[in-house]
Structure 1
Amino acid sequence: MSTRAVVVVGAGPGVSGSLARRYAADGWSVGLVGRNVEQVALLAEELGAAGVRVETEIVDMTGPEAADAVRRVAERLGRVDVLHFNPSAFRERDPLELSVPDLLADVALGVGALLTAVQAVRPLLVEGGRITVTGSMAADRPWHRAASLGVQKAGVRNLVHSLDATLRDDGIRAVSVTVNGTLGDDGPFSPDRVAEALVAAARQDEGDWRTEVPYDG
């Protein structure tokens, strides 16, 4: 199969949906992996109605079936040119309220699930492939009332650096885009604008590759 393909992990409304539409507009096939049946189905139906090839899986990315689900999508597409990772957990707890089990559960989704996704698609991630991650200003300027989110975003950015160092000799690069603003329906931090920033980060010149790209709107 020669058509390029993107796999979006954490698919649904917002940035992940906008990114799927953006690649679809360029003629790419799209894989959608998410845990909300209705949200994934609506996005898949929209893309399919536009003539886009879509493959879907419904799964909890912290569960035991996650790797198999991501792998099935990749295998049905036949190749992966871009893997995009979007999940994170928002839990309104400050550090005195946040329990260790809750922190670890959130990190399992916002950081650990990236490992699951990358390891699952690696056999089908082509040379020249890209791994992109939706980052956040919470990595550097966390809100204390959502303490686990800052830990997740700092951790996933750190993991991206390691993934890039591991895969770059195989012609595969990884990048996180740090969104330095609050997402909104319109304006510079709308999902469509952030999606454009993610696509631009994936298309960086290899000689000047940065594993973290800030998006300031």
Structure 2
Amino acid sequence: MSDKTALIIGAGAGLSASLARTFATNGYKVALAARNADKLADLAKETGAKAYACDAASPQEMAGLFASVDRDLGEPEVAVYNPSARVRGPVHELDADKVRDAMLITGYGAFLMAQEAVKRMLPNNRGTLLFTGASAGVKGFPNSSSFAMGKFALRGLAQALARELHPQGIHVGHFVIDGGIASSYGAKEDDSTLSPDAIAETYWQFVNQHRSAWAWEVELRPWVEKF
């Protein structure tokens, strides 16, 4: 076990679970955060992780999460932001309050995570921030305006942070997940969806990039997915 800690916000089944397994297998102490921490019990037991409850769109709860992780496991060396929300439907029919809440979860919560993480990473001039994006962050789709707004905001945040923080030793990554992620462990036999384990492996490779050749964005899609 190393002295490094990885914090995964928006944890659950699928990609988050694969990320938790990947970091734990590679010696990281793992912190898992979700609005409902009870659902993380099995994954926490499997990976030796510690689970926390957190509303990602709340500044107070985000600050409290980081304080708890600092105390229990040590300041995060890697912080991953996975949460997102959407309200589907024609723009003229959308509930404005629900759209606002979706944007807070998808974009504002990512800012809150970054702010807390960077406060801890800057004194050491190292650390990694990882943001899980989607196709909607580079192209808007009909009846999905709220998701496009949130994911465009997430991508803009990541790009701005990369330009601000890379010269200070903090690696920032945005991942465009262009396709459906297999809901079960591993990919389907026909590879028509992205394997969460394969995505997690790419995140791990990103964390270990040499600083002379840092990326800030990676697009991932199944081989059958159209651009």
Equivalence for 2:197: 192
**Separation (CA, whole Å) in 1 of partners of 2:43 and 2:11:** 8
Q: Is the 8 A contact 1:127 1:172 kept in 2?
A: yes
Deviation at 1:2, TM superposition (A): 5.3
Q: Is the 8 A contact 2:107 2:153 kept in 1?
A: yes
Equivalence for 2:114: 118
For structure 2, the 5+ residue unaligned runs are: 223-227
Aligned-residue sequence identity (percent) comes to 27
Cα deviation code 1:134-179 (max 9, x no counterpart):
1111112333233211211111011001112222232101110111
RMSD: 2.0
Equivalence for 2:125: 127
Deviation at 1:133, TM superposition (A): 0.9
**Separation (CA, whole Å) in 1 of partners of 2:206 and 2:155:** 14
TM-score computed with the length of structure 2 as normaliser: 0.85
Structure 2 residue 66 is matched with structure 1 residue 61 = no
The aligned amino acid for 1:106 is A
Q: How many residues align?
A: 212
Equivalence for 1:22: 22
Larger deviation, residues 31-40 vs 97-106: 97-106
Equivalence for 2:32: 32
Structure 1's 98 and 79: CA in aligned 2 closer, same or farther, altered over 3 A?
A: same
Q: Is the 8 A contact 2:8 2:16 kept in 1?
A: yes
**Separation (CA, whole Å) in 2 of partners of 1:26 and 1:149:** 33
**Separation (CA, whole Å) in 2 of partners of 1:207 and 1:94:** 46
Cα deviation code 1:106-148 (max 9, x no counterpart):
1111011112112223343353311011111111233323321
Cα deviation code 1:67-99 (max 9, x no counterpart):
212332134222321111100003222322223
Q: Is the 8 A contact 1:93 1:145 kept in 2?
A: yes
Q: Is the 8 A contact 2:127 2:171 kept in 1?
A: yes
